[in-house]
Structure formats: structure tokens, C-alpha cells
């Protein structure tokens, strides 16, 4: 028997852009892994491909280096690879 995936919350672009800014503001415009304040990106903790929602609780601010390192990591969690400020 096939199991149907639950619907996930996916926002339209204007709503996602607003949420993106809210997450940056919530996180104090700093990478939540290393503290950097430049090249910031918003990361889905649970990926969209795994039914991760576009919601504030599923998003975190990371700098480009930490974000790239996270996606390249085998265990897929934050580490000390971006500890320099």
C-alpha cells in the first residue's frame, strides 16, 4: 500500500520573502553557527524535499560558508567548520 505524503506549507514568493526577513531579524542578522554577519542565507532545517515547511520554526540563519558546509556534510548537522569570525 502506498502512503500519501502529507501536504507541506509552501509559501508564495512575496510571503516567503517576508518570512525570510523575519528569520534574519529573529536571529539578529547573524549566522547561528559562527556569528558572522555577512553573506547570510536562510536554511531549511528540515529540507523541502523531505516535506520541510516554509515556516519560522523550520528556518535558521547561516552564513554562506556554514550553509555550504552543512549541505556538504555527511551527517548533515552544524559543526565547527566555520568558527572564525
- 17-74 pLDDT per residue, tens: 999 999 999 999 999 999 999 999 999 999 988 888 899 999 999 999 999 998 886 5
Neighbours of 82 (CB within 10 A): 21
pLDDT for residue 85 is more than 70: no
Residue for grid cell 502529507: 6
Taking the chain, what is the end-to-end CA distance rounded to the nearest angstrom? Answer: 51
Neighbours of 76 (CB within 10 A): 9
Total residues found in the chain within this entry: 85
pTM of the model as a whole: 0.76
Amino acid at each position: 500500500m502506498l502512503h500519501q505524503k502529507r501536504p507541506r506549507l509552501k509559501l508564495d514568493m512575496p510571503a516567503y520573502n517576508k518570512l525570510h526577513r523575519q528569520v534574519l531579524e529573529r536571529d539578529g542578522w547573524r549566522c547561528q553557527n559562527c556569528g558572522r554577519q555577512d553573506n547570510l542565507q536562510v536554511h531549511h532545517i528540515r529540507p523541502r524535499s523531505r516535506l520541510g515547511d516554509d515556516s519560522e520554526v523550520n528556518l535558521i540563519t547561516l552564513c554562506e560558508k556554514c550553509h555550504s558546509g552543512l549541505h556538504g556534510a555527511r551527517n548533515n548537522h552544524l559543526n565547527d567548520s566555520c568558527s572564525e569570525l
